[in-house]
Structure formats: C-alpha cells, structure tokens
Amino acid sequence: PHWGRIAVLASLLVSSASSLAQDFGTGLLWRVDPPNGAAASHLYGTVHLDDVRAVRFSPVVRQTLAQSRRFALELVTDESSAQVFQTAATLPSSQNLATLLPAADYQRVEDLLRNRYGVPAYVTEHMAPWAAYVTLNLPGPKMGYSVDELLHHLAVKQGKPVTALESVEAQVGAMQAIPLSQQTALLSAAARDHARVLESVQQLLERYLAEDLKGIFELQDDAAAAAPEIADAQTALLESVLYGRNPGMAEQTARLANEGAAFVALGALHLYGPRGVLAELEKRGYRISRVPLKTNPGS
C-alpha cells in the first residue's frame, strides 16, 4: 500500500466530537501572517486521492504556489520511506491476517482487495489490519497524481526547496498505536459494508470541491450512526491519525512561517476545528485569513 493512504483516513474517521468543532469550517487556502513580521505564508488543504477534479487547481492556488519561496507537505516519498511503510504494513512472521479475523470477514477482505484493488491473496494474508483498512478506504487502485503529489511536482519544477512536515515513521506510528483488536474491528466493519465506505469517499470529494471542511467532518456522524459498534475504535483512530499529529504539524508550519513565504500542503481536516493546525497557529499569535478561490477547484 502507498503511504498516502494513511492520510486519507483523516477525512473518513468517525467521532462524536464533531459537534465541538466550529472553527475554519469553509475554505481550502489560508494566509498565515507570523507575529515576527515575515512575509505571509499559505496553507492549502488537500485530499490524498487522485481524483481529476481535485487536481484541477484554481489559478489563485497556482499563483500563490509560484510566488512562495519554499514548499512543504506532510511527507516526502522516496525509496527509503516506501520501504519503511512496506515493512510496517506487514505482519510479523508469527501472525497471519486470516487468523486475526472471523473467517467470513477475512474472505470479504481478501475478495475486495483482490478484485477492486489488485492485491494478491498471498499479500493480503500478511497485511497488518490497519494497512488493509486504509486500502479499503480508497476508491480504487491509484491511477495518477494526488493533490499533494501534483503540488510537490509543481514546486520541484519551479525549483523550490521542499520540506516534509513529518517522517514516515510518525505516519505509520499513528496507525500502529491503535490496539490490534480495534484495528481488526475497523477492518471487519469496512469489509462488511464496503459500499457505504465508497459512498463516503465520493461524498468527501464533493464536499472537498465545495471547500466545505465542516461538511466533510460531519460525514463522520453519518458513519457513526451506520456502525455504532465500532465507535470506540473509530474515536481512537481519529485521536491518533488526526488530532495526535496536529501539534507536530502546527509546530513545523510555525517554523516555516517564521522564515516567510512558505506554501504548506496538508490534509484538509488537519486545518479544521478548535484542535486543528489553523486554530493552534492562531493561539500562537499568527493571523489567519481565508483566501477565496476565484475559480472553484472543481470547475
């Protein structure tokens, strides 16, 4: 599985905390003015999927990137990081996914991964539950650039220095921190009602194209109602994959903003709410303002 599959979960998780999140509910592009007077930086909320509508960037986004002096994203992928991910996504030799799930659920997982995602059965049996779950939360096999990857490509083409906000170890660690029993519960639920999972992905994309971060977050309430038996596992996932990573992302973004004129791309829900990166920056004295996109990213 590709490392970016972890990040998409931040837009698909379930939590009863959504009613608490009120801040920064609309908008993908945000201006950040640091208290030290350095040139303004910008944060752009992404979706870690390769949908063609999402990568049809507004001219405002392209111009803002072009005028920035440096670029940052959640993770810079290379051969080394791919190897770390692959190792982490593989069960120890003493374990087998088929023995961790009820037989019927494992068969569903194996069939879905083979038929929809092209994952052979001999790979599935050695996958960590979180890795299989992450894969089932994608619309299908990867076909092109995700939003983050295309922005990275454009930044490199423009000769900008590139910084990673996180390490691959931090990303996979966020998933591995979830107890194995909760990982398997999440995987079984996704396999049993995969049609609902795929529908959620499409709803996520529609709301992303509308710059509706609050609406994306509210999708979680719908998912919670559909699978109340795994609410605890989903809350643990949200805390680890989204909220647990936000402070570190805010710290790195603040450092870049203090240097001036950075363009930072990170998963859209990391921006949203009172525990999001924008709220954390605002608490630190950074002035945050939305930049309207004159052209809808989906138009």
Q: What is the pLDDT of residues 169-227, one digit of tens each?
A: 999 999 999 999 999 999 999 999 999 999 999 999 999 999 999 999 888 767 767 77
Q: Can you read off the two tokens belonging to residue 24? A: 């920064």
| pLDDT at site 18 | 39
Residue 290: strand, helix, or coil: strand
- C-alpha to C-alpha distance for 151 and 166, rounded to whole angstroms: 17
Q: Long-range CB contacts (< 8 A, 24+ apart) of 81-86?
A: 81/3, 81/167, 81/168, 82/3, 84/168, 84/169, 84/172, 85/1, 85/2, 85/3, 85/168, 85/171, 85/172
Q: Strand 41-46: give its sheet, edge to edge.
A: 162-164, 70-73, 262-267, 41-46, 29-33, 287-290
pLDDT attached to residue 10: 52
pTM above 0.85? yes
Is 97 part of a structural domain of the chain?
yes
| For range 1-16, the mean pLDDT | 48
| Mean pLDDT (whole number) for 231-239 | 88
Please say if the pLDDT value at position 1 is more than 50: no
Distances (CA, A) of 264 to 55, 60, 207, 261: 16, 15, 21, 10
Question: Quick one: which of 147, 289, 249 has its CA closest to 205?
Answer: 147
Q: What is the pLDDT of residue 90?
A: 96
- CA–CA gap between residue 164 and residue 264 (Å, rounded): 10
Q: Does any domain span residue 242?
A: yes
Listing DSSP states for 213-229 in one string gives HHHHHHHHHHHHHH-GG
Mean pLDDT of the chain: 90
How many CB atoms within 10 Å of residue 4?
A: 24
What number of CA atoms fall less than 13 Å from residue 295's CA on the CB side?
Answer: 14
Residue 104 has pLDDT above 90, yes or no: yes
Q: What is the pLDDT of residue 9?
A: 56
Domain region containing 220 = 4-290
74 close to 166: Cβ distance less than 8 angstroms: yes
User: Does 299 reside within a domain?
Assistant: no
* Count of structural domains, the chain: 1
Residue 98 placed within a domain: yes
Domain-embedded: residue 297? no
Statement: residue 24 has pLDDT above 50: yes
User: Does residue 10 form part of some domain?
Assistant: yes
Asked whether residue 298 is assigned to any structural domain, the reply reads no
On whether the CB atoms of residues 74 and 264 are closer than 8 A, the answer is no
What number is the average pLDDT over the span 40-45?
99
Indicate the burial class of 24 (C-beta count within 10 angstroms; 0-12, 13-18, 19 or more). buried
Burial class (CB in 10 A: 0-12, 13-18, 19+), 274: middle
Question: Has residue 295 been placed in a domain?
Answer: no
